[in-house]
Amino acid sequence: MSDFLDTLTPDAGPDGASDVPRADNATVWRRSDAQGLVTLWLDCPDTGTNVISETVLRELDGILDALGGAKALVIRSAKRSGFAAGADIDGFAGLDRDSALGLIRQGHAVLDRLAALDIPTIAVIHGNTLGGGLELALACDRRIGIDGVKAGFPEIQLGLHPGLGGTFRLTRLIDPVEAMQAMLTGKSIHDRKAKRLGLVDALVPERHVDAAIEAAIKGSLPERDTDFKAGAMRLSPARSLAATRMRQEAAKSVPRRHYPAPYALIDLWHDHGGDADAMQKAEIDSFATLLESATAQALIRVFFLRRALKSGAKGASDIAHVHVIGAGAMGAEIAAWAALRGKRVTLEDVKLDPLGKAVQRASKIYERRHLSGIDARDALDRMMPDPDGLGRARADLVIEAAPERPELKEKIYSSLVDAMKPGAILATNTSSLRLETLFDAAPDPALFAGLHFFNPVSRMPLVELVSHDGVAAETLDRLAALVGELDRLPVRVRDYPGFLVNRVLAPYMLEAMQMLDEGMEKERIDRTALAFGMPMGPVALADQVGLDICLEVARSLGKGLDRPVAEVPDWLVQKVDNGETGRKSGKGLYDYDKESPPETASDDDEEARIVDRLILPMCNAAVECLREGVVSDADQLDAAMIFGTGWAPFRGGPMQYARLRGDVPDALRALEGQHGPRFAPDPGWDGFA
């Protein structure tokens, strides 16, 4: 054994793996042999990210046949991005139940073979190690994590649970309750927590990987603790109690009828958590059942919508320095996020107090994102308060995030005419003002566009990239690339009242105002929307956005659209005039010192007539935007609403909902007869299929 261990030599890591030859007859695996130590490098071609596909598992099966006299097996990734991002979703899309069962059983057989090898098997994981990638690692005897690794099972976001052994292997390896929470939330387990839980046996920097592999082969890594709690959870009474609590917590977030996967996972563990073999068989059947559910099919479609948006952010922006004008909530979030993503940022405001609060906000964002102390410090170093506006002259991009007053924005633009360097882009984060009213004041209209982030920037992935008649195509391409570099999703829209998202979302809130004016209880309205699947009721959302912003958007739509919109009640104007602007002021439609908006709803709270009044005007506005060419197609529109507002993703977006429902124009005509012309079906319905 000592001669074998002496063959371990420092490896260059993923950067050096491309020189390792492909395994025999393999397209995705590279193989190196050193006197009995076999190292397999996963390297899916023509992509920067590994996924666990049928090809990956089939070729691994063949390699396991050819291990010969190997004394140990190490599995690694050749990709900088991480070990593997999950299963190949393309391979599952559209499968019927029988086909899915066959594919899953084949995958289980391969990973079972890996788990049963009588030689030490070690997975070295780094970066994103998710879904099927983590299941591959769990089938090995030991896991060595490289600093910064993030491991998890995001399948719940697709309406599924792990299907290649993750449910029974993770609940056997670590605290079962922690394992279940990880799978139920879909959140990644970051490196230090992964080590504490025992998910990885060692956590090391890249330069120490070979020493950790040697320790794993020798059997000198610390033994995993099998604590009393893990043992107790294999007994039915304790597991039953924990499962009941999990179902109660799940019900606070998602109803079973809309999102069956969390409940299927809990049932799976509750019924079979004491018997790994039984749980494995039940996992396969449960996964196949979920895969053919309407929710999973809708959420898989959402996955593809995200990927399509992401594909619009290709290329390099050549934007290294971003200058943000306005350190309010939006400006501060934009600055903090850009700095987190590696941009040099200067943040300007006429007052010092907002700049100080912006730094505090950034620190909290970095803490929530689990940045290490060093990474958080570096990000804060890149974000520089700039009360004198010195960054204007050096920035590649200036983002104006000032209050929604045209005269203020035009004043800022005029002050930039001789301040910005040649070729620098000016972008506005306006949410309610038309670009056609602003671009004449910009230093160079060809280098001016809308870059509309959504609040909070650190959590909302969508960015509307707003064009106007005078903007250069290169400007839009550079901004789209920047959005990708910021790990956000760009949707290209043309200048239009409310742009896209606010145009479609505004009727949701404005109709709620009409219902309030009619005397309907705000809690009833919000609970109905929550029961439908919206992430927030329209009354609570109006408070969250700010009643002053809602009022500006309503006025903008009223002036800019040819069709009628819901009238703004006089009492809403009075509230704004009195400073009761919503959550940010402590009082709006809800009084936050005395009450809180409902956050959950039961099936009984969904009232069809209220749903129609809230949701169908959104569908109508969406068809209008398609007819007017505000966005390129229905898929882009659905994606924008899901990623910009959280629009009931299991329903697929407003256009998918309308397509599946089939009677929206007729239902709108009925509402028009009851409530007036604001419900009149848009002419675009005639061409919608």
Q: Could you give the residue numbers annotated as active site?
A: 135, 155
Closest CA to 588 of 545, 644, 559, 628: 545
d(CA 666, CA 659): 13
d(CA 145, CA 129): 10
What residues does 145 pair with on adjacent strands? 125, 203
| 369 in Cβ contact with 336 (< 8 Å) | no
| 299 in Cβ contact with 334 (< 8 Å) | no
The side-by-side arrangement of strands in the sheet containing 462-467 is: 383-385, 344-348, 321-325, 397-400, 425-428, 448-453, 462-467, 489-494
Coil, helix or strand at residue 31: strand
Neighbours of 58 (CB within 10 A): 14
What single string gives the DSSP state of each residue in 321-381?
A: EEEEE--SHHHHHHHHHHHHTT-EEEEE-SSHHHHHHHHHHHHHHHHHTT--HHHHHHHHH
Residues 6+ apart with CB under 8 A from 6: none
Place of tokens 């800022």: 412
d(CA 558, CA 43): 55
Cα dihedral across residues 669, 673, 679, 684: positive or negative: positive
d(CA 192, CA 81): 19
What single string gives the DSSP state of each residue in 479-504?
A: HHHHHHHTT-EEEEEES-TTTTHHHH
**Which regions of 67-205 does DSSP assign to beta strands (E)?**
72-77, 121-125, 128-130, 142-146, 150-152, 189-190, 202-204
547-560 vs 501-517: helix crossing angle, rounded to 10:
110
CA dihedral 426, 430, 434, 435 (to 10 degrees): 10
